[in-house]
Amino acid sequence: MGRATVAFWSVILILAGASAFYGINAEKQRRSVQSAGGKIESGDLVRLVKVIDGDSLVAAREGQPPVTIRIVGIKSFDAKVEKDVVTPFAQAAMETIQRSMLDRPVRVLLATTPKDKYGRYLATLYVDDEDIAIRLIRQGLALVYTVYPFPAMQGYLQEQEQARAGRRGLWSNATATERALALIREWRNQNQ
């Protein structure tokens, strides 16, 4: 075997090892977040522990283990994808959740189905009687996720249309708007 061949396969082995290492650690982190052992009920007051992304977070009741919560009715773009036109909006959604909820009591209203298949609680979250999801939609930082209908969906859709008409957040960017509209069409087709 020539030097070039040995170098090539060495680089391949290093890349494969690094991918496996990062993949295993990412899966461990995901499992630890989703297997948090706490429990919440509708009406509970919780405190923010950590923002996972623009539609999921970890919160805990006073003196209780943390739980993972998926905010009902919204979907945010991925904040971890570098150099993507929608990344700043996803990061802004995370920052909005952080600012809105940090060191403040958050009221939980669990969905009819309180947990999803990943073990996350499905809930609407309120800070000072304001729905956090509505705040994100109004600012154009999250989309109304219509695959699973929910009681407040029509109000959320009206807020989304106003954000779009006002060109707020992702609606101010043509490429982000195009991607958002493609997702909305895809979700609509899933409901038919």
- Tens of pLDDT, residue by residue over 151-174, are 999 999 999 999 999 999 999 999
**Which of residues 13 and 142 earns the better pLDDT score?**
142
Helices (H), the chain: 3-34, 87-101, 132-138, 153-165, 174-190
Domains of the chain plus CATH, in order, are 44-191 (2.40.50.90)
Overall average pLDDT of the 36-46 stretch: 90
**Which of residues 26 and 93 earns the better pLDDT score?**
93
Q: Please say whether the beta carbons of 73 and 144 come within 8 A.
A: yes
Q: Hey, what amino acid is at 14?
A: I
Closest Cα partner for 61 from 147, 131, 136, 121? 121
Overall average pLDDT of the 111-127 stretch: 96
Q: Please say whether the beta carbons of 9 and 73 come within 8 A.
A: no
